[in-house]
């Protein structure tokens, strides 16, 4: 319009006209977006499934309040975990990721819900299905993907791989079945000793639930009233064995006997969050340990070497996806209560996919760690020292 008024309309080339139209469309969409965002419901309260209780007179509330900001954050994080695991599946099949690789898709509500019920100053330790927790504890997709491919930019400098990732107040990623549970008790003991009002979440699966060391840890934690939340992520199968075939009692939340327990819908992020808040309050009040069983489901097999359909049917997996998917459940709640628009959630999906693709590109081009780094980081804070290599005449140096 300015060009027309100044007699310069002849400068309007087709490309310039298209550019101006694009700017107008962008400006209009931004105005519409800002206007529609202001119309969204900022907060809503939802009914959630009742929690089964053991040795408790009352449990978590039957409703959960969700703000729009929380909902968008939970949605983005769960989508990031889902897409990250699907990309890991693809890279594994291309033989870019090697070795053990246990994927977390389907169980996203557990990691995100637990994180919503504690703080980043609290502590967490889990088994080898650890990619999701590495992200929620502060790791980046780029660092996680690079660790999976064994590159220098990985979260453990390319030396840990899928099962051994760590961040501040996150102690892995542990490859030995059930071994992380007593380690978590040690972290909880440190919290009590220091009197810092922190706690430790110690996670294990239904496949590890019959381990003797777990019951020893229950006993010790109860005697010492440690601030620890034991969480059994019951995804229905320990490797290829169903819980009914492996456990005489499948009520894992009662396994602590003298320790109070909760059985929670692990596919609902709000259920998990409210139960975790309840459990955290229990620990911080000095009542000692508490046990949670999260009933969840993994879409992939136990690991990438397991197709996951020899001991369960494709129809069973599809039924869980269609009826109980944690991401779809949160999405439906937000859309039905005008807390977000379909377009806004699609924008998040696009941004997440781009983040995953960028991370995968980095993970396949970043250099592998050199042999000189093999023995570094043995100790957190120590002077460099020599380490004998594979032969007596091979010497390596360890630096902190």
Condensed to tens digits (0 to 9), the pLDDT of residues 123-138 reads: 999 999 999 999 999 9
Nearest-angstrom CA–CA distance, 130 and 103: 8
On average, the pLDDT of the chain sits at: 92
Read off the pLDDT of residues 16-64 as tens digits, 9 standing for 90 and up.
544 544 454 454 445 434 445 679 999 999 999 999 999 999 999 999 9
pLDDT for the residue 38: 73
CA distance to 70, 71, 398, per residue, from 351 (Å):
18, 16, 40
Cβ contacts of 253-257, under 8 Å, gap ≥ 24: 253/52, 253/54, 253/291, 253/292, 253/293, 254/54, 255/209, 255/215, 255/218, 255/291, 256/54, 256/218, 256/222, 256/230, 256/289, 256/291, 257/218
Q: Quote the percentage of the chain above a pLDDT of 90.
A: 85
Read off the pLDDT of residues 133-188 as tens digits, 9 standing for 90 and up.
999 999 999 999 999 999 999 999 999 999 999 999 999 999 999 999 999 999 99
Q: Which residue has the tokens 């009826």?
A: 323
Read off the pLDDT of residues 86-120 as tens digits, 9 standing for 90 and up.
999 999 999 999 999 999 999 999 999 999 999 99
Asked if pLDDT for residue 390 goes beyond 70, the answer is: yes
CA distance to 122, 132, 318, 348, per residue, from 80 (Å):
23, 9, 21, 10
pLDDT for the residue 372: 87
What confidence category does residue 289 fall into, taking pLDDT thresholds of 50, 70 and 90? very high
Nearest-angstrom CA–CA distance, 365 and 290: 45
Nearest to 104 by CA among 128, 69, 71, 140: 128
Residues 6+ apart with CB under 8 A from 172: 125, 126, 130, 163, 164, 165, 166, 180
Nearest to 238 by CA among 328, 127, 156, 143: 127
Neighbours of 19 (CB within 10 A): 11
pLDDT for the residue 389: 86
Read off the pLDDT of residues 219-264 as tens digits, 9 standing for 90 and up.
999 999 999 999 999 999 999 999 999 999 999 999 999 999 999 9
Q: Which of 40-44, 203-207, 362-366, 391-395 has the lowest mean pLDDT?
A: 391-395
- 263: which DSSP letter? E
Nearest-angstrom CA–CA distance, 351 and 345: 10
Q: Within a 13 Å sphere around the CA of 316, how many CA atoms are in the beta-carbon half? A: 13
pLDDT for the residue 17: 42
Judge whether 101 and 301 are in contact, CB under 8 Å: no
Compute the average pLDDT of residues 379-392.
88
Q: Pinpoint the alpha helices (H) of 247-369.
A: 269-284, 314-324, 326-336, 342-365
- 195: which DSSP letter? T
């Amino acid at each position: 319009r300015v060009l027309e008024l100044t007699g310069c309309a002849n400068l309007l080339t087709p490309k310039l006209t298209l550019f101006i139209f694009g700017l107008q469309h962008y400006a209009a969409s931004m105005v519409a977006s800002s206007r529609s965002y202001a119309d969204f419901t900022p907060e809503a309260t939802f009914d959630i499934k009742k929690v089964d209780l053991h040795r408790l007179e009352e449990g978590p509330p039957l409703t959960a309040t969700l703000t729009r900001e929380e909902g968008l954050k939970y949605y983005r994080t769960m989508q990031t975990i889902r897409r990250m695991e699907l990309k890991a599946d693809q890279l594994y099949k291309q033989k870019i990721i090697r070795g053990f690789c246990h994927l977390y898709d389907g169980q996203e509500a557990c990691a995100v819900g637990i994180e919503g019920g504690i703080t980043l100053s609290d502590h967490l330790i889990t088994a080898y299905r650890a990619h999701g927790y590495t992200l929620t504890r502060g790791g980046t997709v780029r660092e996680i993907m690079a660790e999976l491919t064994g590159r220098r930019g990985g979260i453990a400098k390319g030396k840990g791989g899928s099962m051994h990732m760590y961040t501040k107040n996150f102690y892995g990623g542990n490859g030995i079945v059930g071994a992380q549970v007593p380690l978590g008790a040690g972290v909880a003991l440190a919290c009590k000793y220091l009197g810092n009002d922190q706690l430790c979440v110690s996670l294990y699966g239904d496949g590890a639930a019959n381990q003797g060391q777990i019951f020893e840890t229950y006993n010790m934690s109860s005697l010492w009233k440690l601030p620890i939340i034991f969480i059994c992520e019951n995804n229905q199968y320990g490797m290829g064995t169903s819980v009914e075939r492996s456990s005489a009692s499948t009520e894992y939340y009662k396994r602590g006997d003298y320790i109070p327990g909760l059985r929670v819908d692990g596919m609902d992020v709000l259920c998990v969050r409210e139960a975790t808040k309840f459990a955290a309050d229990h620990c911080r009040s000095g009542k000692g340990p508490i046990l949670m069983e999260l009933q969840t489901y993994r879409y992939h097999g136990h690991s990438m070497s397991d197709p996951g359909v020899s001991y369960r049917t494709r129809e069973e997996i599809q039924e869980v996806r269609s009826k109980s998917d944690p991401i779809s459940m949160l999405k439906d709640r937000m859309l039905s209560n005008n807390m977000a628009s379909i377009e806004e959630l699609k924008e998040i999906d696009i941004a997440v996919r781009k983040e995953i693709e960028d991370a995968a590109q980095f993970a396949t081009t970043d250099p592998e760690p050199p042999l000189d780094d093999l023995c570094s980081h043995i100790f957190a804070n120590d002077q460099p020292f020599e380490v004998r290599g594979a032969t007596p005449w091979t010497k390596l140096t360890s630096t902190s």
